[in-house]
Structure 1
């Protein structure tokens, strides 16, 4: 239906009807994904992660597609436990002393229940939903067929890579790992070891302890954490002593164990830790958590320093391990972006089969990047002075299609990890933005990228000395980004003092990115679309 609708109605003479066409398609896709559930929810989330670059109706629709699926009944939970352990979760011969029938959270492939061990500790029990493993192979097969038809028969667009590769090359393998809770437990242990070995993060970040004796491939038991999810912005600001008194009563009702608790450091300390954590994953460890959305992050008082916050990272089912060569290339790209080293940017872009380094740079930094010279890759202003917003809907779409084909010159060269890292980066940016941009995310990420190049393995002493010199120069260049950040903070403070709505650094980046997308690509990006 989608294909026929576009084939019949995406025509020059029907340009004024294209917004209604996009709206119909968005409704069909959303209803398809939500009614089927499981993997379909994940496909929708992959689309939603890139929704700022889709037609406005799809932005509006897929912004609401969160991982909040219906719960399975307790009878299904009981069936899983009998299959995995040969006994029920609770009761005279049960595994736990107490097992709450009502789930505290439900996602596309699993749901979480609160339980109490017979030794007295409270735990979180994650249970895989029945039939998920049976459905996935068929769903992936159907998805692969549809993507191939779209690319080769229908639309002549590299959709097989941009969406298909996300699942078929990377996620297909990772989904099997994500559905194996023994593997998830191992991922959690690896991450905990990395954190313990990094002085800047040890103690500031906690990975919940897993109980292997109560865990199988389909059931995972980990320690229960009392804290505030990052998605609850009012409660987070209240916990950190930055919310008005009117919000305290409602927050206390939702988190009775934290009533009256006020931690030091403000939301700035939380975001500093978070940005450093995911920068370390990308540039130092090469071990990247692929779903750092606010629901997977809990803030609690530090067990040994109760006046300070500790960040708790949940859901370790999906990680991507990246090669040393890719880490160096990605770090070089980030350093080149912030140091305006166009040669380095073009070199990495061409190495990855990308034909428009300026668009790639903008998507990486999540802020507009324009070359000061015409790119050797041929991404100069070949369209002259014509702006995309001056074109009608049909002409904008055709231009966007042409730019996408120029962007992906050679999809075989592009590292598939970029899709995961790009999503990770956007979510971390969104977390910073909704808390008022308390930290200079770009500067912190840039420092980790540049510093990681000085510690790369297999470098001759002359190469290492050169990297240290580049790092010192880079720190000097970062002063300009610091100046822009603090100028933004001063404006934000002045507006707040005048009783006006304040605009943070990430909000300003979003506003310029929206203008860039409109003028360059003809995409009408909704306000707040980059909030992760």
Structure 2
């Protein structure tokens, strides 16, 4: 496979605190900044006059109106129950990322510009109608000259310029917030902005996504896994803004129309294959897939499970593994001291933490949730299940000045996805004790 060229990030200095001026953004960026101010100002003035913070629904609607960057902010909030308040996490679960498809003429222009050849010289067929359209990119079905069916993911024009402008606006607002809000933890706020920026840059980096696909496919091959597949990327027809991948045919794993009684395949078998593959990737792959929602987990026509969309992956520092596993073991064993010590190790804090007091607060949390058996909490049998547990643990952590790394939050969120899949497709299964689950959590 030919090597992919390296993609240079737009704003490598953001996390170091450098704010790019409007003059550097050009006309497009200046117009975008003006549009953002025009949308935000009336809402911000209303909240200021009423002296209140925005309601979750108001903030979600504003984010959706502002477009790609802020939609991604919303999804970041929705996927971070241990960082943000529960009301906002719940509201942003419905943050929309479906947008109208752009004209095919623009898609053609981007593909030909990036790949350097006419579309007809690259593909035998290229469907002008998009299969899907989101805020950052849209996807088209195509066929290569060599005969393979593929999907082509094309980044929409101007996305990176908008992202750059929006992130600088957010950076400026963050600095203003630090000035007017007393006792603001600057490192925490700046770190959060940096994490959000990096997550969005990664999603815009199709070169990195192609490399993620290659690495994950190698992980599957090295472990002899033939039950799970990831799309093959085609380097010769891919670039920074164009990603051509093998096309999969199947349905979402959670499609309840698939059942043995209905003549289809039993999706629970595919679920356990997917679950075991994901657990294995935690220790045997350089990263884990951090966005396996139902649309990215397919039950293929041949019975295999397809993992798709590798724009969002997570990595855990090796030194954090033992603490992370201790946290899960503490939950299972109701050992709140173990949980407290693990939270301090995994989290980021500048201050000394009273572990005894933290242990008592965690114990009170479980009592308030009436969670005598912590496994039942993880199986979603007690109200909001893991989601409520993560939100409340996050609130306790913030009270002690502990901030969890983004990658750790992504990991916990993915556990939540699988918990929901198990409840839907294999109700009653104990993730910690079922013999079909190979939870190889050692490193």
Map residues 388-427 of structure 1 onto 2, 5 A cutoff. Answer: 404=395, 407-411=398-402, 414-427=404-417
TM-score, normalising length: structure 1? 0.61
Aligned counterpart for 2:65 among listed residues 25, 32, 35 = 35
Residues matched between the structures, number: 374
**2:117 aligned residue:** 87
Q: Indicate conservation of the 8 Å contact 1:104/1:114, yes or no.
A: yes
Say yes or no: does 1:441 pair with 2:431.
yes
CA drift at 1:179: 1.9
Aligned counterpart for 2:441 among listed residues 444, 448, 452 = 452
Deviation readout 1:460-515 (Å, 9 max, x if unpaired): xxxxxxxxxxxxxxxxxxxxxxxxxxxxxxxxxxxxxxxxxxxxxxxxxxxxxxxx
Distance between the aligned counterparts of 2:43 and 2:434, measured in 1?
Answer: 43
Q: 1:49 to 1:119 in 2, by over 3 A?
A: same
Q: Indicate conservation of the 8 Å contact 1:349/1:357, yes or no.
A: no
Distance between the aligned counterparts of 1:317 and 1:363, measured in 2?
Answer: 35
Deviation readout 1:344-401 (Å, 9 max, x if unpaired): 222212223477457779999xx875799xxxxxxxxxxxxxxxxxxxxxxxxxxx99
Distance between the aligned counterparts of 1:324 and 1:282, measured in 2?
Answer: 11
Distance between the aligned counterparts of 2:214 and 2:269, measured in 1?
Answer: 25
Q: Indicate conservation of the 8 Å contact 2:228/2:307, yes or no.
A: yes
CA drift at 1:74: 0.7
Gaps in structure 2 of 5+ consecutive residues: 1-41, 375-390
Distance between the aligned counterparts of 2:361 and 2:46, measured in 1?
Answer: 30
Q: 1:103 to 1:445 in 2, by over 3 A?
A: farther
Aligned counterpart for 1:208 among listed residues 231, 235, 238 = 231
Q: 1:425 to 1:452 in 2, by over 3 A?
A: closer
Q: 1:149 to 1:420 in 2, by over 3 A?
A: farther
Q: 1:27 to 1:332 in 2, by over 3 A?
A: closer
**1:234 aligned residue:** 256
Aligned counterpart for 2:162 among listed residues 131, 135, 140 = 135
**1:125 aligned residue:** 152
**2:241 aligned residue:** 218
**1:332 aligned residue:** 326
Q: Indicate conservation of the 8 Å contact 1:45/1:62, yes or no.
A: yes
Deviation readout 1:326-353 (Å, 9 max, x if unpaired): 1222112212221233332222122234
Greater RCO, 1 or 2 (C-alpha within 8 Å, sep 6+): 2
Q: CA RMSD in A?
A: 3.7
TM-score, normalising length: structure 2? 0.72
Distance between the aligned counterparts of 1:45 and 1:349, measured in 2?
Answer: 24
Gaps in structure 1 of 5+ consecutive residues: 12-20, 244-260, 303-308, 373-399, 457-532
Map residues 335-484 of structure 1 onto 2, 5 A cutoff. Answer: 335-351=329-345, 352=347, 353=349, 356=358, 404=395, 407-411=398-402, 414-435=404-425, 437=427, 439-443=429-433, 451-453=440-442, 456=443
Distance between the aligned counterparts of 1:27 and 1:282, measured in 2?
Answer: 35
**2:307 aligned residue:** 313
Larger radius of gyration: 1
267-276 or 288-297, which deviates more: 267-276
